[in-house]
Amino acid sequence: MEKYIVEAEEQGKRLDMYISSKDEELTRTSAQRLIEQGDILVNNKKVKVAYKVSEGDIIAVEKQMPKEIEIKAQNIPVDIVYEDDDIIVVNKPKGMVVHPANGNPDGTLVNAIMSICKDSLSGIGGEIRPGIVHRLDKDTSGLLIVAKNDKAHVNMSEQIKNHEVKKTYIALVRGVVKENQATIDMPIGRSNSDRKKMAVTKTGKNAVTHIKVLKRYDKYTLLEVNIETGRTHQIRVHLSYIGYPIIGDCVYSNGKNEFGVVGQCLHAKCLEFKHPITGKSMKLEAELPEYFLEILKKLENEQDGETKKELSKELSNIIIALAKIK
């Protein structure tokens, strides 16, 4: 159960709007349904959807997963980067959902992990998310930590909460980023115009993203990205907001997809953390997926071609200049 205390600047908002702005996973429609079911209480009382919150109100939210979703172990191939008695770290492919939900009842990472680990998974995440410590978007590839027991789960959750886990992503964006390094410190919440999307908004939650240029191409930039917070779609929203949407991101790049990829060019390449039981410093990496490498190879070839043209032009100008001297 999640609990919120309404602050002075938030009073006067409709309850459904207040909840959807606080919980990134709930749309306004979902919030309305929960209010009507009595799963959202104000000061321990059931209220109407149109209720306007007041300063000091205590809002309790109980999100119930649909009972029809039955979690089953499935023999799905998974790239295991590291495994011991306490944690398992996998390299999730793009296109794979992390845990079951409406529209994705199976074929998820959880289904695959249950087949590998059997009953040795932390129960803190509940029946739907056993062992899941953090998440990656469906079409983001890369490293993800799964806890095998409750002690490991609690410790890893604390490390993430205290910003002690360093997450490094690689992203290919449209546009040439001028700054070699930059920090994007802008709050993220649910979009007011499209409740299925996230956006930079004044009423959102604190979100901090650091970017570093790895290579500039003619019309694109390869970035190293580190995040301090883990808001839904954080990297995608931040980069799109400053004018550099991620290649392949059909949600936050105005539908453009010049390379025809399914899913965005965003990869969780490196995780640095302390082992939840031994305390040993760990650094794990996962190479870029093949589709990502193919796009970079194409850009490299194009850039090499342009460089050769420039050199040929410069050489021609030199020859002409020398001829004039004679």
Place of tokens 């071609």: 305
Q: In terms of pLDDT, which residue wins out, 310 or 275? A: 275
Catalytic residues: 137
The answer as to CATH 1.20.1250.20 being correct for domain 67-162 is: no
Q: Which two tokens stand for residue 237?
A: 């929203």
Tell me: pLDDT of 139 over 80.
yes
Tell me where in the chain the CATH 3.10.290.10 domain(s) lie: 2-61
- Per the DSSP assignment, residues forming a β-bridge with 147 are 87
Confidence of residue 121 (pLDDT cuts 50, 70, 90): confident
The answer as to CATH 3.60.20.10 being correct for domain 2-61 is: no
Q: Which residues touch 305 (CB under 8 Å, ≥6 apart)?
A: none
Query: 18-74, pLDDT tens digit by residue?
Result: 887 777 667 778 888 899 888 899 999 999 988 999 999 999 988 665 444 567 888
Checking phi first, is residue 263 left (phi over 0); if not, alpha (psi -120 to 50) or beta? left
- The CATH code belonging to domain 164-314 is 3.30.2350.10
Tell me where in the chain the CATH 3.30.2350.10 domain(s) lie: 67-162, 164-314
Give the Cα separation of 240 and 41 in Å (integer): 36
Give the Cα separation of 232 and 25 in Å (integer): 8
- Please give the model's pTM, rounded to 2 decimal places: 0.74
Q: In terms of pLDDT, which residue wins out, 230 or 226? A: 226
Tell me: pLDDT of 99 over 80.
no
Q: How much is the mean pLDDT over the chain?
A: 86
pLDDT score, position 24 = 64
